[in-house]
Amino acid sequence: MFNTFCRRRMTESCSQKRRYVYYFSAVFILLFITPGYRCHVRKITEADLRMYRKRVVDMFNHAYEGYMKYAYPLDELRPLTCDGHDTWGKFSLTLIDSLDMLAVIGNYTEFRRVAKLILDKANFDIDINASVFETNIRVVAGLLSAHLFSKKAGMDTDPGWPCSGPLLDLAENMARRLLPAFDTPTGMPYGTINLRHGVPSGETTVTCTAGVGTFIVEFGTLSRLTGDPIFEKAAMRALSTLWKCRSDINLFGNHVDVRTGKWIALDMGIGGGVDSYLEYLVKGSIMFNSPELLSMFNECKESVEKYLKRDDWYMWGNMKKGSITLPVFTSLDSYWPGIQSLLGETEKAMKTIHNFHQVWKQFGFVPEFYNIPKADVHTNREGYPLRPELIESSMYLYQATKDPYLLQIGIDMLESIEQVTKTRCGYATVIILYQFI
């Protein structure tokens, strides 16, 4: 029923007015499609790997200690002035975000110390308008993974662990504060919630696709650990509404009205505005062994490959016609080879990551937007705000293939982050002003 409702209400009006002529020149093909990436790989030894692993841990410690010294208990460090500020709430966000990393690098003493600090100090009953999406992926997710690491890190755990424990309680406490956002006619959540008072009056009904479809990993985990199905149901209801709102060619728009299901922005790319929706379909399907989530992803992926993919790049296109509207690679696209490799499509993933790595080498980073035909950064979107997507993709793909080319990508990223973005107290966003080649 909702399906027809949803489709009837969709209009042709699109908030994104800019249209770019798509020019696919022979020069462009020659420049970018040469499959020569194996030639440049030098031998990376076990000793090299140990050294790089240590450097990564040192980098983490530098950022972590800078945060603790200059910014805690505020949300984030300002790495140029070496002070802190609250950004997404008043959560000591960076501490919650980095807790699981302490466990990953094996610093269990510090893990236990700050887990206790968080448990002693956390109070989410605050009059703050918080992003439902960001609070879920950072706070709920950070607390859940810390909870799952807590036994390994030597914390005293209840006999009922992992189905009980103080970090799990805290994650649940926060997730319950997000639930009222899902109380809409479509089940798709509002973008913002007041942690004490619920949805703020006058809150916009328009949110991005990722803001609707990025809950199943955390909410599914919560439901399965706590035994309360409400979280998983809310996430699944939002996902199935979104699915019903897809276009006839199985593509999605960028922004949707959560009360009516009407699309507000009709352009789709795999990156910003959509990205983690597709990512969570794949990760959710693996975590919960769900053929339903996987088939949603696969149907959409077929269309993405048919309409938006050009020589292993992914463009932006119109969700109804499939026509290309903006020939750009965006930094946020970089998670894609990671999910390709999770699905076993390692050959496709290698070709895609090769393209993205070429952009990294051209500038020393990936800019927010990169115009593919022009092979240049997109004006006003030149920054690299220390995004992790390309790093994560290289990691997954390396685990799947052990191809040393991926280690080289990792080393390239490590060196530019360390050499260009490091400050006295942390790491800063860079603005790409010139090319390195």
Ligand X SMILES: *[C@@H]1O[C@H](CO)[C@@H](O)[C@H](O)[C@H]1NC(C)=O
- The residues of the shown chain that bind ligand X, judged by CB under 6 A, are 61, 64-65, 107, 110, 127-129, 194, 200-202
Of the candidates 97, 172, 279, 389, the residue annotated as catalytic is 389
Closest CA to 216 of 282, 314, 146: 282
For ligand X, give the closer residue by CB, 191 or 373.
191
Helices in 90-229 by DSSP H: which ranges? 93-104, 108-121, 132-134, 141-149, 166-178, 209-213, 216-226
For ligand X, give the closer residue by CB, 25 or 201.
201
The phi, psi pair for 203, rounded to 5°, reads -65, 140
For ligand X, give the closer residue by CB, 106 or 385.
106
Closest CA to 178 of 224, 120, 118, 218: 218
Q: How far is the CB of 197 from ligand X (least distance, A)?
A: 8
For ligand X, give the closer residue by CB, 66 or 166.
66
For ligand X, give the closer residue by CB, 36 or 202.
202
Closest CA to 254 of 326, 313, 348: 326
Closest CA to 66 of 425, 432, 427: 425
Q: How far is the CB of 324 from ligand X (least distance, A)?
A: 37
Judged by DSSP in three states, 394 sits in: helix
116 vs 267: CA distance, rounded Å? 45
Q: How far is the CB of 124 from ligand X (least distance, A)?
A: 14
**Would residue 134 show up in a list of annotated catalytic residues for this protein?**
yes
List Cα–Cα distances, 435 to 37, 95, 267, 375, in angstroms.
20, 35, 30, 11
End-to-end CA distance of the chain: 56
Q: Which single residue is written with the structure tokens 């194996």?
A: 38
Judge contact between 309 and 352, C-beta under 8 A.
no
184 vs 260: CA distance, rounded Å? 9
Q: How far is the CB of 143 from ligand X (least distance, A)?
A: 20
Count of CB atoms situated within 10 Å of the CB of 154: 12
For ligand X, give the closer residue by CB, 193 or 236.
193
Q: How far is the CB of 391 from ligand X (least distance, A)?
A: 21
**Would residue 218 show up in a list of annotated catalytic residues for this protein?**
no
For ligand X, give the closer residue by CB, 46 or 127.
127
- Which residues, at least 6 apart from 302, have a Cβ–Cβ distance to it below 8 Å? 250
Of the candidates 75, 172, 275, 382, the residue annotated as catalytic is 275
**Would residue 100 show up in a list of annotated catalytic residues for this protein?**
no
Q: How far is the CB of 212 from ligand X (least distance, A)?
A: 20
List Cα–Cα distances, 48 to 45, 55, 59, 102, 217, in angstroms.
5, 10, 16, 23, 35
For ligand X, give the closer residue by CB, 63 or 141.
63
Most distant CA pair in the chain: distance in Å? 65
List Cα–Cα distances, 121 to 10, 101, 169, in angstroms.
46, 20, 14
Judge contact between 190 and 184, C-beta under 8 A.
yes
Of the candidates 86, 110, 134, 412, the residue annotated as catalytic is 134
Helix axes 166-178, 216-226, angle to 10 degrees: 130
For ligand X, give the closer residue by CB, 65 or 299.
65
Provide, for the chain, the percentages of residues in helix, strand and coil under a 3-state DSSP scheme, each rounded to the nearest 5: 50, 10, 35
Q: How far is the CB of 102 from ligand X (least distance, A)?
A: 7
**Would residue 389 show up in a list of annotated catalytic residues for this protein?**
yes
Q: In the numeric block, which tokens belong to residue 426?
A: 């942390």
Catalytically active residues are 134, 275, 368, 389
